[in-house]
Amino acid sequence: MRSFIVGLLVLLAGPVTGLVAIAAVMARGAESSCSTPSLPAVGEIPDGLIATTSNGTRISLNRTQLGHAATIIDVGSRTGGVGRDGVVVALMAALTESSLRMLANTGAYPASGSFPNDGDASDHDSLGLFQMRPVAGWGTVADLMDPAYQAAAFFGGPEGPNGGSPRGLLDIPDWASLSKGAAAQAVEVSAYPDRYARFEPVAEQILDTLAPPTSAPASVSPEAALVSTSRTVFPLPAGTWTRTSEYGMRLNPVLHVWRLHAGVDLAADAGTPVLATAPGRVVAAEHSGGLGIHVAVEHAVGGERVVSVYGHLRETAVAVGDVVAAGQVLGEVGSTGNSTGPHLHFEIRLGGLDADAIDPSGWLEAALASGELAASDVTHGGTPAAWCGPQEVTT
């Protein structure tokens, strides 16, 4: 176990500017989702990629564009019924509509410019990666300036945000029997239906680059595993916290007994968003014991279970079984349970929820070294997914 701890801290101590090799091994838990063919892990995002369209045009994609592609792949991985072909269709559509850029449209919607974006376009009243229109029912301006929301809307289906109107890919009858270009057109309903097909080889190359095929061991069940990777983040936004108590033996300020303080306390204003430090599955979200309202998230790192725990919350934003991304809001800082004021109690437990906690200082220091998340960059959820159980996958 000691060697694993050392290895974990070495892994976390490296630069973490994009998607990196911390693997949370996830599988869908619903019947339809678990039977969907799996996609490999999204790995580290390269600085750029040169690809060639079907008509021989060479295009260059930068790290930002590839980051949006990774979001599409990740959402598709967690949406039952999509599979590899559906992700390729979505990448083709986004390449065609926006060149994989999150585009504001301040002419039609001035407020769109206040959201993170990669430029300002002026295609009527369309927004974002897939150039979706609020007036067509795809979502609000705030919704459509969220890449993960746009991806979920494009895929549609029973888990999609629009209930089949307008239709996402999974709402198209027999979409898998169509050519990929025709499938993209069925969702986008473009005046130029033939333009999607030329990006098919580009989409395939992006998918092979960001999520290279991996072979699962023979022991993996028919409900094949999905592997999601993402960066590790500090559990509170930058500039919101002060470290007030360390891991170790101390006089408990509420119970007035000498006992182990099994985590690190980070004082912050009540209501400060508490962030998932890595991708994983929520295994506890309850009000009980000295931790009061707390959330626990299970991750898989280097083949080991790691659970992060977030205590004394004011309220939670997730439920048991939800799959969360790094940086996703789990709840708000509070002072429930054995607490003398608003703060986050943060723990790391190796081996599972019931395992003993270790000193999380190394984990927190690695997250700090990679750069804290700005409050404007936190995410408030995506497409929730169930969990078929941890699967052993070679990455």
Pair (208, 103) in one structural domain:
yes
The pLDDT tens digits for 191-246 are 888 899 999 999 999 988 888 764 433 332 322 222 333 457 899 999 999 999 99
On the 0-12 / 13-18 / 19+ scale of CB atoms within 10 A, 174 is exposed
Looking at the domain assignment, is residue 93 inside a domain? yes
Point out the residues of the chain with pLDDT beneath 70. 1-41, 213-231, 254-255, 302-303, 379-395
Residues 31, 49 within the same domain: no
53 and 158 fall within a common domain: yes
Structural domain of 289: 1-36+216-389
The pLDDT value given to residue 210:
87
Cα–Cα distance measured from residue 19 to residue 230, given in angstroms and rounded to the nearest whole number: 4
Q: Which domain CATH number covers 259?
A: 2.70.70.10
Kindly state whether residues 58 and 190 are assigned to the same domain.
yes
Q: What's the number of CA atoms in the CB half-sphere (13 Å) around residue 339?
A: 26
User: What ranges in the chain are assigned the alpha helix state H?
Assistant: 2-13, 31-34, 63-77, 83-98, 141-144, 147-155, 180-188, 200-210, 361-370
Per-residue pLDDT tens digits for 18-45: 323 333 323 323 333 333 445 666 777 8
Domain end, chosen from 213, 238, 264, is at 213
Q: Cα(80)–Cα(71) distance, rounded to whole angstroms?
A: 16
Q: Are residues 322 and 356 part of one domain? A: yes
The domain total for the chain is 2
Which of 183, 213, 243 is at the close of a domain?
A: 213
Domain membership of residue 369 (yes or no) is yes
Quick one: 230 and 172 in the same domain? no
Residue 86 falls in which region: left (phi positive, over 0), alpha (psi -120 to 50) or beta: alpha
Tell whether 207 and 221 lie within a shared domain. Answer: no
pLDDT computed for residue 351 by the predictor: 85
**Residue 275 is assigned to a structural domain of this protein:** yes
d(CA 25, CA 41): 9
Tell me: do 246 and 369 sit in the same domain: yes
Given 197, 213, 229, the domain boundary residue is 213
Residue 395 is assigned to a structural domain of this protein: no
Asked if residue 5 and residue 88 are part of one domain, the reply reads: no
Residues 308 and 201 occupy one common structural domain: no
| CA 127 distance to own-chain centroid | 21
pTM beyond 0.85? no
Residue 136 is assigned to a structural domain of this protein = yes
Q: Quick check: is 316 in a domain?
A: yes
Paired tokens of 362: 């190394």
One domain, residues 233 and 121: no
**Residues 74 and 59 placed together within one structural domain of the fold:** yes
3-state secondary structure of 282: strand
Task: For residue 394, tell me if it sits in a domain.
Answer: no
φ, ψ of residue 195 to 5 degrees: the values are -80, -15
